[in-house]
Structures are given as structure tokens and as C-alpha cells.
Structure 1
Amino acid sequence: MPWEHKTILLCVLSIYITSLVAGLDKTQEDDQCTELNNTTWAEYRQLGVKLQVLYLLLTRNNMDCAHKFNQESLTRPASYFNVSRPTKVIIHGYRALGSKPSWVKELAQALLRAQDVNVVVVDWVYGASFAYNLVVENYKEVAVQISVLINQLQEHGCKLESFHFIGVSLGAHVAGFVGTLFEGKIGRITGLDPAGPMFKGADIFDRLDPSDAQFVDAIHTDSDYFGISIPVGHVDFFLNGGKDQTGCGRSRFASMYGYVICDHMRALHVYMSALNSSCPLMGIPCSTYEDFLKGQCVDCGVFKGTCPVIGLSENSGIAMSPIPKEQKLFLLTSSTPPFCAHHILLELEVSTLDKSAEVEVTLITENLGTEQRLRLQTDMTVYRTVLAHPAALCEIDSIWMTNTGARFYRQGEIHVKSVCVSEFPSLRHEAPLCVNNIHIKRGVLWSHDFVQVCSFY
């Protein structure tokens, strides 16, 4: 063989071997455990907003080891992605400090423990950091890039209705625009405290709304600052009114940033807890939080008696069709996981008073007390209020009442015609606990023990 031909053959073999090795290196690189990216202020000043959308994949086969994911991943024999399974898509939001979201893996693993699915994490930290106004200007481009991946997955057999997008803060609106691009055919979108700044007055084309998916649910926990205050889904859960969350008003955070975003991130932590916990986080439909606290909304008639729940239940547990839109749901929570609390309705009827008064009512369960102060007026005799209690109605051991109006112009003795406590929504159809005909003198503690046994059926 002439040396010229040998040289050409060697060159071809060299190129082939090089490409083969590169392909093996690329496969090995894709199979390595990876994490979301970080960016720094120095990088931002040098490069500006850099739109770089990457994807990570977690399944039950690699729960502790996220792999890089793209269309090429589907063609590899060892791909963990299964087109026959539903796919959860997690989209983080604005990253003020350029750091990667630390909660992503925890959320992905909670989803995988609850269901056998593909979990795709969208990493757009480079384009989501530092300058919020510039990030908002570019969030639709992120949605467009995600839609390209969804189209590719469709070509491999995935159905639009099998996708469930879970967007945190600004990520909720990214998910909403993906839904818009697919004309609302995406299966489900869950918004975890969807971002409020620059979105509160936005058109529905520019923000998350019920038309973006076959079912849209949202959890609101910071609607007076970083979250949006209006309904954006079929059902919108406003926890503790959607503003100030229990346990977030204390200076117990490792950083000022953690303190500032506590309310905003509570939606995420409650959602993860709902995935891990057996206690239901159930919302009650009501027009306003004030009406809810006054005990004017105690059932779920608008949903034919079935109260929506936070979590992965199909359509939040709603069985009726069509599903109502933009339904405000309210619920009270505790300050720590699993965040569940029992809604107790306290009803107090007193005889007409000559002067105003103040009564402190305490419900006791195993030395844990829930207190509620009621200000009594001369022109009212019936009072209703809702409070969060750590235990069910049948576990309440006793009720205490004190006439705390110690000043001379307050009522000296209060005649309580009846005091009743009941739990709602009534899951076990328990009768209210009531005590009648009580006289409470100023500064004297009155108490009554309940003798009851819980029966669950």
C-alpha cells in the first residue's frame, strides 16, 4: 500500500478513535453525579445576565445522584428517563445572591418517594441571579427553551398531560408561560408562592393563570411582599391568610436573608411536608380571610363537600367537573413540620353586658394549650372565631376561661350562656363540645374537663 494511502488511513482511524473516546467521555460525564450551578457577583459584572438553561434528571434509580439531562440522554441504552412514567419538572425562581437553590434535591426526593416518576430539574441560575428586573425581562426566553425540551420529549413518546410543572416564586410564572406555549395542554402546574413584584398587575398572558394547564394549584404564603396576592390557579391555598406565617417573626435565622424570605419560602416547605406526611393540609373556600376567621366558612359546598388538599392528589382531590377557577382557600398551619393544625370553631354566647369585657379562652390537650382572646362588646352577645389547635376535637381534655378585664370600667362578672367548640371540616361528624350557664368573675380561672374517647372511622 502506498505510503500516501497509509497516511490517509491513519488519519481516518485517528479521527474515529478520537471521536469514539470523546463520545465515551461525554457519556461518562453525563452519567456522573452533578448539581445545580452557582454564579458570583464578579461573573455577573463581567458577563451580565447569561441565559444558560441546563437540566438534571433524578429517578428512583438515581435518587441520590442527579445526572445531566438532554435529548441525547434518551438515546443512550442506560438512560434512567422512562417515557411511560409521568414527569415532574421543577423550576426554581429568582436567586438574589447567585447561589444554587439548596432545596431542589429534597423536593425531588420527596416527589420520588411519593410517586414513581421522572423528575427533571431546570437549572437557570446564571440567568436568574442578582438584578431582578433583568431576570423578569428574560424569564419567557427560559420558558421557550424549556418548551424545546418538552417538544423533544414528545417526539420520544411523552404526552403533554403527563407533565406536572412545579414552579417556585418566579419559576411559577416560567411554568405558566410554558403552559401558554402549549395552549394549556400541560397536565398540571403547581405554583409555590408565585412571585408578586412586577406580576401583580400583569396580564394573564404574562403570569401564571388557570388557562396554562389542565389543572393549576398555588400556595400563597407571602402575598404582601414577595408573593402575588391574587388567585392564579383553579385553587389557591392562602396559608394563614397568605401573608405572615407562624414562626417567621422570630430572630432565629442564621442570616438576615433567611429571615427576610421565611414567609416566601414557607410555601415550598409546606408542600414538601405534604408530600412526606400523612396528615392532610386541607383548604376551606371563603371570600376573605377575615370571614374565615369569624367562622363564616366551615364547609366545602362549592366543591360538593370535598375539600381540596395540598399535595399530589389528582386535581387536589376535587372530583367535580368542570373545576371552578380562582377559588380562594384558607387554612391555618403550625410553625413547624408537618405544619398540620386542626381548625377549631369557638362559639361563645353571653348575656347582655353593661360594660365591655375581655375573655381569654384556652383549649388544653396533654398540657399543650391554644389561647384565644375575645373582646366582648355591649351590643353583641354571640361571638364566633376560628383557631388552630395541635390536636383533634376528640383529644381536647379541658377548656379554661378567664375574665381578664381587670380595669374598673370592664364588666366585673360575665354570664356565659354557652361555650361550644367544634372541628371543621367535620370529617368524623363529631358533635360540638358545649358547656352551659357559666358565671366568670373578674380574674378568676374557670375550667371544665371533657371526658371523651376518640373513635376513628
Structure 2
Amino acid sequence: MIKLLFLAAFITLGSCQLFGLFGPPKPAQFTTKFNLYTRNNKQTAQVLTSRDAGNLAAITKTNFKGSLMTRFIVHGFVDTTSASVWMGKMKDAFLDAGDCNVFIVDWSAGNGFLSYDQSASGLSVANVHILGHSLGAHIAGYAGQAFNGQLGRITGFDPAGPGYAGKDTKDKLNPSNAQFVDAIHTDTFPLIGLGINENSGHVDFYPNGGHDQPGCVINRLGAMIDNGLYGGFACSHFRSVEFYTASLNPNNPKGVATQCSDYSTYLSGDCDDSAGANGGTVVLGEQAILAKPYESITVGNKYYLATGAFYPFFETK
């Protein structure tokens, strides 16, 4: 019987060393909030905490359905769920696209994941998808490690670079953390970028070359209104989550990315598509998992695409 069900059983600040450049954290256990949304409660969360670990009754009182795909959305270092509009928008897009469980995870007071008995809850780890932004992407990776890579999917939104660039693979998000790992890199500018300029998954996307996202200068004020002061100065960093959210709407154009040696070669149209199958092109966002059968082709490569400055970002071909 698998005892670790919901997600990694408590990850403490002391053992994970999550904060890289920010110094060694105190080895204390904090309370993480799991705000559950379903189609039966799209706007009002049913709240669980890491203190509910092992208490199956707590989750059976909610609208959670173990037979459905379960998404966990995890914020970054300076985010909180109350301040991050993007998490609510992504939650709504998931529930509009299909019936599922969506947890918005608030680890701003610490971090940790719930533990429940798999056989009792009916949730398969293969139906778990964790989506993490910035530092949250690496936290998702740690959760995946606790399940020995058996989680269905992890998506990293511009995985954090400061404190993680150059680290051992096991200390950051990597392809071994889940059955399928995809990453969207949008703020990898050398020295000043907040994202990591290293591949993190089975498929790694670098929209607009991976930095200086279109519209981020002229929309600086709007970004500050939506995401606070940090969001205003990290527009490119947050654009990764906007791209993914746009991909959830089936009426939007698809963001088709092409394997290429670098962005300038992509723009000149001289990419080598000889990889064949899905190795040459992969769709950014929710449909990226369709590349899973071709992991041996996609791993280690970079996938580029150009986008517009405004939603829905992707252009009709």
C-alpha cells in the first residue's frame, strides 16, 4: 500500500534548502495551505492544510474526486496566493477546459505537501500534475523526487535561476522528477534574469529566445496592477504562466515551437527539422505532453517560438 498519496509527505524548510542565495533557512515546519477548487466550487476555496496530513476525513468532506486529474499550482519565492492574480486565472482556465481538481498551494508560511492513503482516496499519482512558478518549479521537483518520479506531470514556469544555476541536477527541477516534465523559460537574460538558462525537463521552451518578452516594457504598469511591485519588474518572468493559461483555451491559436540551435537561427528559418516525429516541433502549454512518446528526441534540446505582446500571444499559422 502506498502511503504517500496526495503529494510529498512533509518537505521542511530545513531539509530542502530551497532558498539558494537567500541563506540557509531555519529547520522549522510551517503550515502550507491547499485551496481546493472544483466545478462545484469554482470561486470559493475549500481549504486544507499540511496539518491535515493523514486525516482522510478532512478531504472526504470536500468536493475532491480521486478519479479526476488533479492540478497543483505552486507560487514562487515572493508570491502569495492572495497577491497572485495569475493563479486564479489559471485555475479558472483549467476548470473551464475540463472537470478536474485544482489546488492553489500557498506555502508563503513554509512548505510541505499532504499525505494520504492512495487506496483510500482513489487518486492515482499518474493523474497528478504540479505546476510551479520560479522557486515553485523547484519545489514541484522536490515533490516529484518524493514519489520517485512517478507523478504524471510537472510543469515549470520559468524555473528560478539565482541560487540554482550550475547546481547538481538532483537539487533542481529535472526530467527524473515526473513521468513528463516541461518547462517554459521566459526571463533567462544573463546576470539579471530571474529564470534559469538551463534545460529543466523533457521539453524546454524558450519563447522569444527565453527573455525580453514582447509587451513587457509598454505593459509595465498593467503588470504591477495585476501582480504587485515584483510582478511589474518581472513581467518576462511571469509571462511563462500567461502563455500556459492561454494554451488552455481551445479557441486560441496553438503555440507551435521548433527545435533549433538558437533563437537567431529560428528567426532566419534555418532550423534542422531532421529529428522527425515530434522532435522537430512541439506545442507549448497543455498539449506539450503529446511529445511524451518522443522524450529521447526532445530531451536536451531547446524549442523556440515567437509570440505577440498581448493575449492570446500565439499567432494563427
TM category (shorter chain) comes to 0.7 to 0.9
**Which structure dedicates a bigger proportion of its chain to strand?**
1
Q: 5+ unaligned residues in a row in structure 2: which ranges?
A: 1-25
Q: 5+ unaligned residues in a row in structure 1: which ranges?
A: 1-46, 128-141, 343-391, 393-457
Q: Is the 8 A contact 2:154 2:178 kept in 1?
A: yes
Residue 308 of structure 1 deviates from its aligned partner by 1.2
The more displaced of 87-96 and 310-319 is 310-319
Q: Is the 8 A contact 1:100 1:125 kept in 2?
A: no
Q: Is the 8 A contact 1:237 1:330 kept in 2?
A: yes
Match of 1:62 among 41, 44, 47: 41
Q: Does 1:191 align with 2:156?
A: yes
The separation in 2 between residues aligned to 1:96 and 1:156, in whole angstroms, is: 30
Which protein has greater RCO, CA pairs closer than 8 Å, 6+ apart? 2
Alignment length, in residue pairs? 279
Counterpart AA for 2:135: L
Residue 258 of structure 1 deviates from its aligned partner by 3.7
Residue 242 of structure 1 deviates from its aligned partner by 0.2
Match of 1:272 among 236, 245, 251: 245
Q: Against the structure 1 CA distance between its residues 64 and 223, is the aligned structure 2 distance closer, same or farther, given a 3 Å change threshold?
A: same
Counterpart AA for 2:246: S
The separation in 1 between residues aligned to 2:252 and 2:281, in whole angstroms, is: 16
Counterpart AA for 1:231: N
Aligned to 1:163: 128
Residue 79 of structure 1 deviates from its aligned partner by 2.3
Aligned to 1:174: 139
Instruction: Map 1:430-449; keep pairs closer than 5 Å.
Output: none
The separation in 1 between residues aligned to 2:295 and 2:60, in whole angstroms, is: 42
Match of 2:199 among 231, 242, 246: 231
Aligned to 1:332: 306
Larger radius of gyration: 1
Counterpart AA for 1:116: D
Q: Is the 8 A contact 2:153 2:179 kept in 1?
A: yes
Q: Is the 8 A contact 1:175 1:208 kept in 2?
A: yes
Residue 207 of structure 1 deviates from its aligned partner by 0.3
Residue 86 of structure 1 deviates from its aligned partner by 1.4
Counterpart AA for 2:140: A
Aligned to 1:240: 208
The separation in 2 between residues aligned to 1:336 and 1:300, in whole angstroms, is: 32
Q: Does 1:281 align with 2:271?
A: no
For residue 63 of structure 1, give the secondary structure of its aligned residue in structure 2.
strand
The separation in 1 between residues aligned to 2:93 and 2:80, in whole angstroms, is: 26
Residue 237 of structure 1 deviates from its aligned partner by 0.7
Q: Structure 2-normalised TM-score?
A: 0.79
Q: Is the 8 A contact 1:52 1:124 kept in 2?
A: yes
Q: Does 1:310 align with 2:284?
A: yes
Residue 205 of structure 1 deviates from its aligned partner by 1.2
Aligned to 1:221: 186
Residue 153 of structure 1 deviates from its aligned partner by 4.8
Residue 321 of structure 1 deviates from its aligned partner by 6.1
Q: Against the structure 1 CA distance between its residues 160 and 272, is the aligned structure 2 distance closer, same or farther, given a 3 Å change threshold?
A: same
Residue 113 of structure 1 deviates from its aligned partner by 1.3
Residue 322 of structure 1 deviates from its aligned partner by 4.8
For residue 66 of structure 1, give the secondary structure of its aligned residue in structure 2.
strand
